[in-house]
Structures are given as structure tokens and as C-alpha cells.
Amino acid sequence: MNNKLHNTLYAGRMTQDGFTLTELVVAIGIMAVIILFAGSVFQTSVTSYRIATAQAEIMQKFRAITNQLDNDFRGLRKDAPMFIWFQLDTSDVNNRLDQIMFFADGDFQSTRTYDTSVNPIVPAVSGSPAVSNLARIYYGQAQSIDPRDNTIKYPSALRFIDRVLSRRQHLSIANPATGNSYAQFPLDTGGILTINPVQNDLFEHDTNSLSQWQAAALNGTNVDNIITGCFGNNCPRIDLTDANTLHLLMAQKVGNFSVQWSYLYTNAGQTYVYWWPSIDPANGGGTADSDFGPSGITLSQFGFHFNTAPSSFAASWFNDSYAGTMGRYYLTRPSFPQALKFTFTLYDSRGVFKDGQTFTHIVYLGD
Amino acid sequence: MAKHLPISFISVTDMTRKTIKNPKSEIRNPKFAAERRGSAIILAIVLTTLLALLGVLFLFSSRVDSVATSAVSDNENLKLAVDSVVTQISKVLTQDVPGVEPNGTYYDYPDPCNPWLACLEPYQSGIDYFWRQVSNIYGPFVQNIQAQIVPEYQPNIAPNIPADADGDGVSDSIWTLVPDISSSKGKHIYAAVRIVDNGGMLNVNTAYKFDPNTSVGTSQLDINLMTLAALDHTHTPDEAQNRLLSYRCGSDNANFYEPNVIWQYGLPDGAYTPFDISDELNLRYRYILNRSNVTRTVSRIETLWTNAFDGPPYVPRNTDTAGSNWAWVVNNSYPSLCPDANVYDNRHIATIYNMDRIINPSGSKMFNINTVPSVPDINTVRDKLREALDPNIYDANYIAVNLVDYLDADSNVTYFVDPYTSQHYWGFETPCIYISEIAYNFYQPATPEDANTYRSYAIELFKPYWEDDEPNGWYIETQDLDSDGNPFPPNITPVVWTGSRRFHVLANINTSAIIPIEINEPSETNIPEPNVPQFTPDINFGPGTTIVLRRDVKGSAVRMIVDTFAVPPAEGIGSWMEPNKSNSEYKSLERDIASKHKCIRRIVNPDITTPTLGHMNHIFNSGGDMIQAHPANKPFTNIGEIGQLFRTNAYGGSIGPSSTEASVRLDLAEPNLQNLFNYITVIDPYPTYTFDQNETRIKGRININTAPWPVLAQLPWLSYHTQSNYNLARSIVDRRDARGAFKNIGELMTDANSDINSMGHYIGKGGTVPEALLTPKDDTGDIFLERDLIFNRISNLITVRSDVFTAYILVRIGADGPQKRVIAILDRSGITPTAGGYTGKVKVIAVQPVPDPR
């Protein structure tokens, strides 16, 4: 090797002062190799930086959602009804657009301020926030703007990345019988509740107490009205240009949101945890056994109602054929689930994860 | 690695240079050498820069990662601390459940045996206020802590200094170190905890109103809520009452509120709208949060009675002159705000959720004595009673048979032979019938030619209670003497009660020696069928013999003796049986049966009087030594009624003239007996309201160990005789402050020197009781029936323990770190002791972060 080098150097000196072609080629080659190497390393680190940033963003969102879920479910009132709306995303059978509503105690404060001098009560710029120990809380995907044509669409019509997770809270406050009273919300006419969906989005209060909700949930008509008034196409409507809808925003770019409840079943002496409803309960890769399919409920949308009260209303589901007769079925399974499983797919704002990242979060409700 | 690369490249260059053997070339072409050296440096610099860039990027990405996985925040630490404290409270509450720990106390009263429990109210000493006890969940009891104003955030705390757990601005607890845990940064965690008993408050879901004409204390609805409602001066009592009903009955039928709400353990059965957890949380810390816009976001209960809960006085935190306001709060005598010294500030007066259980000191369900008639075996009843009673003092067999006959609807005497001692027991049973009079006429004409003697005899029986069955299987046993003064064999005459009146006369009348019988008792004209006298030659008796009234006993061949009447001997008073030579003269001996006396021990009038057969006697004994008794033949309305039972045989002369009520009855003032109240009950959801035989939970009763006097005063009858005299309620509080916990509810009857014992003497002290409630109304003196009356009326509605508590928790990281307040409502009614342990767990009804005052 020394001889070779010596020869080369000697040869160069023999011909002329300067770089030989060989020298240049070798030098450029080395440089190219180094640059290529450095470039790829650079590329890798840029990519990993982008991934890390996107990951951090998703994790932040994940933590925000799960913390909020944990906080809300910590105060879950199991003596009150809980409603779940199950909806398949017809564009992708593995995606769901589920919605859940329940009651929780805690220290709740409204996002917006209320003006006490206005009747009916509406959120106002002046005034003070409403506070309460109890709230009706809703999670689900919202109607929001499609950036492709700047119109507000139902979540099922949005691309996954444009979907928005919403949290709606209604603080339970008393409705004074006299004086500066608030208009009733939900409207209670002779024990029959009706929920105005526009008010449901606008307001952060209920004038109904927990026990009034409990009593209302014993009545089938009321349950129908509650489910139709709050779920399905009456999911929250968020207009990011309208400050009066921002209190509904939980997280943007949440492509899939599903809720499943657990129950144990025993087969051949073995006890299994089963999450209902599932697309592929047997994990066999197919959807033939889907709880939404022919072997389960032959509907792509239905509401579900848990109540600890008299057994006939323990758990029932409702189809979404609003036009026809509201179908109601009863389950014989234990009424209140031990745990809920939330599955959601989160997307980062730069589109690093094309398919988003899917998380599951299990909330244990106790026994 | 990255650092070494450039160095090795340079060394290669150096090595290359050294291999050049021709020094000339260096001299001839120095430029060349210099350029080559420079290119290597450039190369090195470029490479170094690239690598540095790489390093920076690498650092960046790892930094992003580290931000994403940031350390556990203080908030997480505080949450964990709260969880740890709640767990400890649950543990302490569990251990305190009767039967779980061998040395545990049955009662819940803030004392050294219950160091975790804090007093609801402070006591005043001079101008200062002190907590007799504050909670300590980690160590021994802490007592006599002054209630002082403390700031919202106390700087530099240390263990054992006073703390303000509930955030009202006044110290009510002490700081303690939470053992065995520290924050993620190694700091100590401090906690201040105040646990109070919800059982010491009025339950606004179960209480209703007290009506002296109908409230007998059988239902929680008899606890008076209207005094609280009256604090809202904007409504009349009727309006307040209707508003309460409209709030909590919702659209459902108020008449069925009790079975469908009070006795439901889950949701109400129907569209009722009782107050809920949101009201409870507001009530529990309402005085911390006197919010500026109360009209907007108050709870329903505060909307119902605005002034009752939200009016002044305020607690210190919300005013500048803190100290004086505290005084208003606790002594309720601030002139301009509380002109009426009896207006209480309502800090801890109401709750929506309280509960206790009918369990005995070993943790199993109390014995519902109203089920006794259906218990087939007296041994079982006796054994249940023996759990509580000292067998050396009380013969549980007698109490058991008397209990059965007091409760069952039939008129059959319960007869029991103790299998161990072979002793016989008879229960005291209806009908109650006594020998009330004997009459005699012995006429021997003075003319010697008529040697005949004419004798007439009569015996009057008296059945004081209209409602009792007519006697069936009853007999009169009489005996006459022969001419030598020796008794003939007894005559046994069946009693044939022919009418529906209370008097029945058996007579053997000779027409020459008439004894008049008046069967038309003027006071009983509304009773249709007069008892026709039963004439029979078998009725005759001689001086010194005994007339015996017997009745058949089911299951026994021997007829038992119900009553006896000793016919006076020939001498002395017995001279009344001497023949009357001149004319026929009838005489009688009577016992006291004055119209309202229904006593089982009859006093014989020592004077011979004219017969009053078939109607009221002449004698009337008004003394306080009467013993009045009657088996109700129906279930107890209240457990205090147990004082009506006999502890001995109530028949056959067992109750003599020297007997006192205390010697023959269950005397509620007797400490040995009072323990029984921890073992037996008559308030029981089974079988009226639930099919679950093991259900023990009772909502809405008041724990007399923790309730402040304004709460106690709402018990039925306790403040009845004047609405503004609360001495009886106050004396209960004074008594427990002075002498410690009530170990059972019966101890209310113990203290002879206080007003408590005068519950019974209450009537004599100016209270007037509607006649309807003293059933049946009588005019005897202060016997047990009257003495026990008030206690009896409240006995179903009071308890000495509780299962629902509120914990105010303040935790802090480090001596001056961040802190957090929460309120937790805990229900331990699910804990049941088992052999060597327990099952179930303390249910956390709510854990709520308490916001800053706003």
C-alpha cells in the first residue's frame, strides 16, 4: 500500500503540479460518499424529528383526551342513566362514530359567562361563569368544517383527518320557580322531556336536576327524545369561526371514536372479557361475526341506554328509523358495565402519520 | 466515534507525508505541500460540521421526546395524596364497623375510641371556641383544639398545627404527615382531615313534619323538617310543605313516597325527584362558597328554602371582620342577623344522604321482635334475648313468652317448659279478666221455729278492655267449709260470658237472701248486650278460702291461675260472713276497678260495702303504685314499647301488693336492660318493603351521639310542648358532653337528674299530650307508660351509630408546596363482618375537588 501511494504521488509530481484526474475523482468520490452518507443521516434525522414532533402532538392530544375522560368518569353517577350511540362509518367498516352521554359529579364551571338579567338564559359576554357539582357530559364527533369546500358537514362526510372530537357539558342548575328564572331546558311538559338540539349545543346548563333525569329516564318516550335530541345527526356542530361553538371543541383531527362496554361471559368453564359491540369479536380477521352485522344488530346506527332503575329499563337499544316506529329492545345482560373501552385514531396536523395512530383507553367504572 | 474520525484522518495524512523520501520535492514545490495540507483541513472541517449538524438534530429529537414524556406533575402527586388519604379513611371506617375489630366500639361518638371522628360543632369557653375532638386518621385522638381564624393558605405548616380542612376559614383539624408516602421529588405529604357524621343531620329526603295528632314515631316522615322550612320566611307553613312535596315527589304520587323512595336503596320506584348528590355537595360546603351569583347556580334544596341555607350569617372567609362573624356562626346570637337565639345557623343541619344499619355489636342483623309470633321456637327467641341480657338478672324465658303473647293476635296463653331447667312459663295474654268483687248474704231468721239458713254468694268478674275476646275456657274455683270449718272439695264452675259488656256476675242466690245484681251499668249503655248473670249452685265460698280464676292453657293439662281472691277469715274483717239474725243484709268486698284503671294488681277495699255487682265499684285508688298492663296483641309500633313487657309471671299472684313496676316490668331506666336496644328492633325493611331478609339499612335516622341540638329538637315530641323550648334536645347534648357517648339509645332514660329522664315526666312539666296519642288514655299517675312515652315515640328514629360520613380533606406537598382540597362522601353500609374479617367495601359516593371560594 505504501508503494502504491508512493507511486501515485510520484506519478503526479512527474506529470504536473496540481490534481490529477484520479486525485479529483477519488476526492470527489470520497466527498460524494460522505455527502451521501451525511445526507441520508440528515434525512433520517429530519424525518425522525418530524415524527417525534408529530408523535408529541398526538401524545399531547391523547393525554388531553384521556385525562378529561378519566376526570369525568371519576365522578360518574351510576345512579343516573348513561346513553351510548353506536354508529358505523360506512366509508370504512373499521371506523366508528360513536357518541356517549352520562352524568358525573365534580367541580364544573362553564366555559362562557352567563348574564343573570337575561331571560331566557343565554351565555353572555358579561356576567360570571355558571358553576355546579353535577354535569351531563357528552363525547362524540362533531359536525365541522370540511377544508375542501369550507362547508360544515356531518362527521361521516368528512375525511378522517378533518374530523373533530367534541365534549359537551351541561351543568345542572336549579330552576327557581319564581323571579329571574331561566327558561326550562330541557323542556319538560307534563313529565315529557324534549331537547332542542340547537339549545343543546348553545347552552352549558340544564335546569333539570339529577333526580329529574333519573325519573325521566324511566319513561320510554323521554328516552327516545333524549337519544334523538342529542345523538345521531344532532351531534354537536362546531364552527371554528364562531366563538359561541368553541366550548364544544375537545380535540381536532380525531378520525375514529368508538365506545365499547365490557361484560364477562363464561364458556366451558372459562371466563372471557367481551367488548360490545365489536366489528370482529372473534378476532378472526373477518367481519362476518360483527355485532353490527346479520349475527348482531342489523343496524348501522343505534342508541343504547343504561339505567340502574327498574329492570325492564336496565339496558335497551333504539334504532334510528326516526320516521317509523321507534324500535326498542331489551337486553338481559347486567345493566351497568364494569368498564368502557374507548378507541380513537389521532392524526397530527402535518400529516406525518397518514393513517393516524389508534389508541385504546379503558375506563374502569367499578362494580 | 464521531470525535475520533477527524483525528485518524489527519494521522493518515501525516503518515503519508513521512513516506515521501525525496526532500527536494518539498523544497521545490512548497506550494503543493501547503495545498494538500489545507484540503485535508477543509475536509475535516466539512465533516466536523456535518457531524455537528447531525448531533444537533439528534439532540433536538431526543428533546422533543423528553418534553412529550414530561415528569409527573404536582397535580398528579396531589391526586395520589388524596387517593391515599381516602384509602386510609376507608380503612379506618371499615375497622370501626361493629364486629370487624374485636375491641371496636358500637357507637360513633367523637371520643378516644373513635379518634377519626370530629365534632360537628365547637363548644364555647369564655370568648373562645374549641373543638372537643378533631379527626386523626393516622394516630391517637386529638382533643380541645381551638377554632381560630386561619388564612386560605397557611405558610410553613408542620405536623399538629391547626388546619382548616373544610376551607371555611376556621381551623377545624390538624396537619398530619401522611406516613409512608412522599412526592416524586421526595417531599413530605401533609394532610388535614375532618370527618363528620351525616347521621347527625336532618335528611331532607326522608323527614317531613311532626303532627302531634298523628305522629307516633314509626316513620322517618315524623321527623320535623318544617322548622327548617320556616326559616324561609317567604312562605306560609302550608306553602312550605307543599313546595317540599312538589320538589321531591316530582310527577308521582306523594302518598306512596315512603315505600317508593325512603325504602328504596337504589333509584326511587317511580318518577320521584328526591334531592340528589348535587344538593348534597352544595350543602356540605355551601358555607364555604357564598357565591356572588347564588340565584343562578344554587342547588335545588337551596332554591327551595333560599333563606334557610343562603342567608347570613356568613362564615369568616367572606367578610372583613372575620372574628366577629365566627362568633355569629357558632353562638347564633348576633343581634341584627339572628335576633332569635333559637335560630340556628344551619351549618350542618341538613343532608340528603345518611343511613345507619340495624345491626348488633357483632355486626349481624338485629332481631326484629315483631317477627316473634311467627318464630316457632321459644328457645330461639330466648337465645336472641340472652345475647343482650344478663341471665342472672333477667329470665329471658319469661320475657320471651310474654313477648309472644304481647304480639300475637290470638288469646291463647303461650306455655313453655324450659328444656334445661324444666321450669314452666306462661305468657301474659288477653283477655284480661280479674275478680273484681265478691258478695255474700247469710240470713238466719231470728225466730227459732225457722232453723233454716239462707245463703247467697256472688262473684263479679271484670274485663277492663272492650277489645278483648270473651273468655273461653275460663273457670271459677270456689270452696266452702263444712260445719267443722274444714274445706269441702272445690267447686269448678265454667265461666259462661253471655254478653259483650265488661262485667260478668256468677251467683248462687237464695231468694230469702237476695243480693241485687245490676246489669245495666249506666256508663255502658251504648254496649248492646248486657251480660246475663250466670246463676249456679256451685258458687259458694267460706271464710279463709281462696277463690281462684283459672284458664285453660293450650298444650298443658293444668289450668293456670289467673287471679285469686282471698276470702277474709272468720274473725276480723271476716265477720262479714257472720249470719245476720235480724234481716237479710248483703255485703261485698271490692277491688279497685275505677273506670280508667286497667291494672292487673287489684287493691282490695278494706271496708265492707254494699254490692255493686254488674257495675262500677266504689273504690278508686289513685296512687302511683298501680301496675297497668295489657297485651297489645299486635306488633310494636316503636321499640320503646318493650317497656310494657313483664319480666316475670304476670299471673297467679306473682304480682303482689308489694310489687313495684320496676320489679316486674322491663324498666328502661335500668342500665342492665338498655343494652337490649343494640340487639332488637322493630323498624325493619323486611318484609314490608323488601324481599331481602338480610337488608339492614335504614335511611334518615338521627345519631344521638353526633347530632347538634337543633337537629335533635326535630324528633317527634322532643320540643312539642312549646315550640321555642328546646331544653330536652339541649339536655341530650349536655349529657353526652358531660358523660360521654350513648352506648345505646336506652341510655337516654338513665340520668335521673337531668331533663332527659323527664322525657316521661314531660307531661307533668307543662307539656300537653293529645289524648289520642296516649292510647288508651287513662288517669293513672306517672307509671312507665307515661314515663317512657317520649322515648318510645322517638325510639325507632334514633340510633347511636352511623354508616355515612363526610370527609373534608386538605393535602399539601411539602411544608409550603401546592395544596388541594376535596370533599368525600363515604358510605360504609356495605361492610359486613365475617369470621376473622369482613366483606364488602366502603363506597365512595362522591369525591369532589372543592374549588377556591368564589
| Residue that wins the pLDDT comparison between B330 and A60 | A60
A&B contacts, CB < 8 Å: 162
A215 with B281: Cβ contact below 8 A: no
Percentage of chain B beyond pLDDT 70 is 79
CA dist list (Å): B609 to B99, B457, B517, B585, B617? 64, 15, 14, 11, 9
Q: What is the pLDDT of residue B467?
A: 84
Q: How confident is the model at residue B20 (pLDDT cuts 50, 70, 90)?
A: very low
| Residue that wins the pLDDT comparison between A338 and B91 | B91
| Residue that wins the pLDDT comparison between B641 and B767 | B641
Please give, rounded to a whole number of angstroms, the shortest distance from the CA of A278 to a CA of chain B.
Answer: 31
**Average pLDDT over chain B, rounded to an integer:** 81
pLDDT > 80? residue B142: yes
Enter the ipTM.
0.80
| Residue that wins the pLDDT comparison between A334 and B239 | B239
Q: What is the pLDDT of residue A295?
A: 59
The interface residues of chain B toward chain A in range 286-345, judged by CB-CB distance below 8 A, are 291-293, 295-300, 302-303
A1, A37, A211: best mutation site toward chain B, by most B Cβ within 10 Å?
Answer: A211
Peptide bond into B687 cis (omega under 30): yes
Is A262 within 8 Å of chain B by CB?
A: no
Instruction: Calculate helix-pair angle for B30-68, A21-74, nearest 10 degrees.
Output: 10
Least confident stretch, A220-229, B363-372, B506-515: A220-229
- Summarize the confidence of residues B595-602 as an average pLDDT: 58
B278 with A132: Cβ contact below 8 A: yes
Whose CA is closest to A312, among A190, A217, A224? A217
pLDDT > 50? residue A320: no
| Residue that wins the pLDDT comparison between B428 and A1 | B428
pLDDT > 50? residue B729: yes
The interface residues of chain A toward chain B in range 121-150, judged by CB-CB distance below 8 A, are 127-128, 130-134
* Contact in structure between B147 and B172 (CB atoms under 8 Å): yes
Q: What is the pLDDT of residue B36?
A: 52
Contacts (Cβ under 8 Å, ≥6 apart) of B155: B816
CB neighbour class for B118 (10 Å; exposed up to 12, middle 13-18, buried from 19): buried
The amino acid that residue B133 corresponds to is Q
* Contact in structure between B142 and B174 (CB atoms under 8 Å): yes
> How far is the C-alpha of B603 from the C-alpha of B619, rounded, in Å?
9
A56 with B47: Cβ contact below 8 A: no
What DSSP letter does each residue of B695-737 carry, written as one string? --EEES-EETTT--HHHHTTSTTTT-S-TT--HHHHHHHHHHH
B247, B277, B286: best mutation site toward chain A, by most A Cβ within 10 Å?
Answer: B277
pLDDT > 50? residue A105: yes
Return the C-alpha torsion angle B761, B763, B769, B772, nearest 10: 60
Q: For residue range B618-627, list pLDDT tens digits in order.
A: 777 655 566 7
Q: How confident is the model at residue A335 (pLDDT cuts 50, 70, 90)?
A: low
pLDDT > 80? residue B231: no
Is A216 within 8 Å of chain B by CB?
A: yes
SS3 letters across chain A: CHHHHHHHHHHHHHHCCCCCHHHHHHHHHHHHHHHHHHHHHHHHHHHHHHHHHHHHHHHHHHHHHHHHHHHHHHCECCCCCEEEEEEECCCCCCCEECEEEEEEEEEEEEEEEECCCCCCCCEECCCEEEEEEEEEEEEEEEEEEECCCCEEECHHHCCHHHCEEEEEEEEECCCCCCCCCCCCCCEEECCEEECCHHHHHHCCEECCCHHHHHHHCCCHHHHHHHHHHHCHHHCCECCCCCHHHHHHEEEECEEEEEEEEEEEEEECCEEEEEEECCCCCCCCCCCCCCCCCCCCCCCCEEEEEECCCCHHHCEEEEECCCCCCCCEEECCCCCCCCEEEEEEEECCCCCCCCCCEEEEEEEECCC
The amino acid that residue A96 corresponds to is R
The interface residues of chain B toward chain A in range 62-101, judged by CB-CB distance below 8 A, are 64-65, 67-69
Q: What is the pLDDT of residue B585?
A: 80
Least confident stretch, B20-24, B156-160, B607-611: B20-24
pLDDT > 80? residue B188: yes
Contacts of A2 in chain B (CB under 8 A): 19
Q: What is the pLDDT of residue B257?
A: 95
pTM of the model: 0.84
- Summarize the confidence of residues B552-572 as an average pLDDT: 86
Q: What is the pLDDT of residue B322?
A: 43
Please give, rounded to a whole number of angstroms, the shortest distance from the CA of A286 to a CA of chain B.
Answer: 36
pLDDT > 80? residue B219: yes
> How far is the C-alpha of B217 from the C-alpha of B220, rounded, in Å?
7
A176 with B281: Cβ contact below 8 A: no
The set of cell numbers assigned to B692 is 331481602
Q: What is the pLDDT of residue B26?
A: 46
Q: What is the pLDDT of residue B414?
A: 92
Least confident stretch, B303-317, B566-580, B623-637: B303-317
Please give, rounded to a whole number of angstroms, the shortest distance from the CA of B847 to a CA of chain A.
Answer: 7
End-to-end Cα, chain B, rounded Å: 61
Backbone angles phi and psi of B266, in degrees to 5: -100, -130
> How far is the C-alpha of B302 from the C-alpha of B299, rounded, in Å?
5
- Summarize the confidence of residues B663-668 as an average pLDDT: 89
Q: How confident is the model at residue B753 (pLDDT cuts 50, 70, 90)?
A: very low
- Summarize the confidence of residues A2-18 as an average pLDDT: 54
Q: How confident is the model at residue B802 (pLDDT cuts 50, 70, 90)?
A: very high
**Average pLDDT over chain A, rounded to an integer:** 80
Contacts of B277 in chain A (CB under 8 A): 77, 79, 105, 133-134, 210
Contacts (Cβ under 8 Å, ≥6 apart) of B592: B599, B602, B603, B605, B617, B619, B620, B621
> How far is the C-alpha of B76 from the C-alpha of B92, rounded, in Å?
24
Q: What is the pLDDT of residue B132?
A: 94
| Residue that wins the pLDDT comparison between B825 and B15 | B825
Q: For residue range B412-422, list pLDDT tens digits in order.
A: 999 999 999 99
A134 with B32: Cβ contact below 8 A: no
Please give, rounded to a whole number of angstroms, the shortest distance from the CA of B312 to a CA of chain A.
Answer: 20
> How far is the C-alpha of B287 from the C-alpha of B267, rounded, in Å?
29
The amino acid that residue B19 corresponds to is T
Least confident stretch, A10-14, A200-204, B610-614, B693-697: A10-14
Q: What is the pLDDT of residue B466?
A: 83
- Summarize the confidence of residues B650-667 as an average pLDDT: 80
> How far is the C-alpha of A159 from the C-alpha of A185, rounded, in Å?
34
- Summarize the confidence of residues B744-768 as an average pLDDT: 59
pLDDT > 90? residue B364: yes
Q: What is the pLDDT of residue A12?
A: 47
Q: How confident is the model at residue B245 (pLDDT cuts 50, 70, 90)?
A: very high
Q: For residue range A142-166, list pLDDT tens digits in order.
A: 999 999 999 999 999 999 999 999 9
Q: For residue range B514-532, list pLDDT tens digits in order.
A: 898 888 777 777 777 778 8
Least confident stretch, A15-29, A309-323, B371-385: A309-323
Helix and strand numbers (H, E) in chain B are 21, 30
Q: How confident is the model at residue B486 (pLDDT cuts 50, 70, 90)?
A: confident
Q: What is the pLDDT of residue B169?
A: 77
- Summarize the confidence of residues B378-402 as an average pLDDT: 93
Q: For residue range A113-136, list pLDDT tens digits in order.
A: 877 666 555 666 677 777 788 899
